[in-house]
């Protein structure tokens, strides 16, 4: 028997090609890890999904190889970034994603894990969605014509008020320091678990708090300390994929 036959290798049946891009299935990463030699996998729940945090779960996976190397990764899951059939199981999906990321580090697999995708349909362009929105906004325009000039005047008046409000807001915002401004969102604020996840990911990527602030200002125009829950989730995913 040649040595090549016993060399650890990712089985091709665990690689899925979707719209010209390759993804590895979690089961394939686990299979390869066992070929290499894995000592243990532990998962820690950093945040349980609740109504207050938008039903978002955050988990941390700790993988130890047979040679004693440690691999730690964090992942999140919420109803907006998982497939429809998995919406009721976001905690489980967060755990799977975290394990998948840690196993990718251990096995040196650079392609994204299939389970990290929100929905396979996300890879398609979203023209049908935009078209539907357009068709819905066209109907009220037809009605406005039939109701006469009163509706038109009301509409023009409303647009004028919106313009004045926007101009006033821009003047006020320009006087403020972006790093001290609160996040402009009606949603829940970033949770302590999300902040911890961001700081942990930054540490593993070799980023200082100054680097985090710069990235947050460039992406969200606000200091990461003031991110809302939704923006924090996006920031976490960006840091995860920055490896």
What does each of the 243 residues of the chain score in pLDDT, given as a tens digit?
444 557 899 988 999 988 889 999 999 999 999 999 999 999 999 999 999 999 999 999 999 999 999 999 999 999 998 888 888 899 999 999 999 999 999 999 999 898 888 766 555 444 443 434 333 434 444 444 444 445 545 555 555 555 555 555 555 554 444 444 444 555 677 888 888 888 888 877 778 777 878 787 777 777 777 788 778 777 787 777 665
CATH of domain 3-121: 3.30.160.20
98 and 59 Cβ atoms separated by less than 8 Å: yes
pLDDT, tens digit (0-9, with 9 covering 90-100), for 116-167: 887 665 554 444 434 343 334 344 444 444 444 455 455 555 555 555 555 5
- The predicted pLDDT at position 127 comes to 42
- Domain residues of the chain, as ranges? 3-121, 179-240
223 and 217 Cβ atoms separated by less than 8 Å: yes
Compute the distance between CA of residue 146 and CA of residue 129 in angstroms, rounded to an integer. 28
The whole-angstrom distance between residue 231's C-alpha and the CA centroid of its chain comes to 9
Closest CA to 23 of 97, 85, 76, 128: 97
Mean of the per-residue pLDDT values of the chain: 76
Compute the distance between CA of residue 196 and CA of residue 45 in angstroms, rounded to an integer. 12
DSSP output for 60-115: EEEEEETT--EEEEEEEE-TTSS-GGGGGGHHHHHHHHHHHHHHHHHHT--SPBGG
Global pTM reads 0.54
- The predicted pLDDT at position 158 comes to 57
- The predicted pLDDT at position 47 comes to 95
């Amino acid at each position: 028997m040649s040595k090549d036959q016993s060399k650890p290798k990712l089985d091709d049946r665990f690689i899925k090609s979707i719209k010209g891009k390759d993804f590895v299935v979690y089961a394939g990463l686990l299979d390869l890890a066992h070929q290499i030699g894995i000592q243990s996998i532990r998962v820690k729940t950093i945040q349980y999904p609740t109504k207050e945090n938008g039903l978002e779960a955050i988990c941390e996976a700790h993988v130890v190889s047979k040679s004693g190397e440690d691999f730690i990764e964090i992942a999140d899951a919420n109803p907006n970034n998982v497939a429809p059939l998995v919406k009721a199981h976001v905690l489980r999906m967060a755990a799977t994603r975290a394990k998948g990321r840690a196993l990718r580090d251990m096995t040196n697999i650079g392609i994204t894990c299939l389970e990290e995708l929100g929905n396979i349909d996300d890879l398609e362009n979203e023209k049908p969605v935009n078209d539907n929105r357009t068709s819905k906004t066209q109907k009220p325009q037809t009605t406005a014509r039939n109701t006469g000039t009163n509706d038109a005047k009301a509409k023009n008046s409303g647009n004028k008020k919106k313009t004045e409000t926007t101009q006033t807001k821009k003047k006020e915002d320009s006087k403020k320091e972006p790093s001290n401004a609160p996040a402009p969102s009606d949603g829940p604020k970033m949770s302590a678990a999300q902040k911890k996840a961001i700081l942990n990911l930054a540490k593993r990527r070799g980023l200082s708090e100054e680097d985090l602030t710069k990235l947050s200002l460039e992406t969200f125009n606000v200091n990461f300390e003031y991110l809302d829950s939704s923006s924090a989730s996006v920031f976490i995913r960006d840091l995860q994929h920055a490896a």
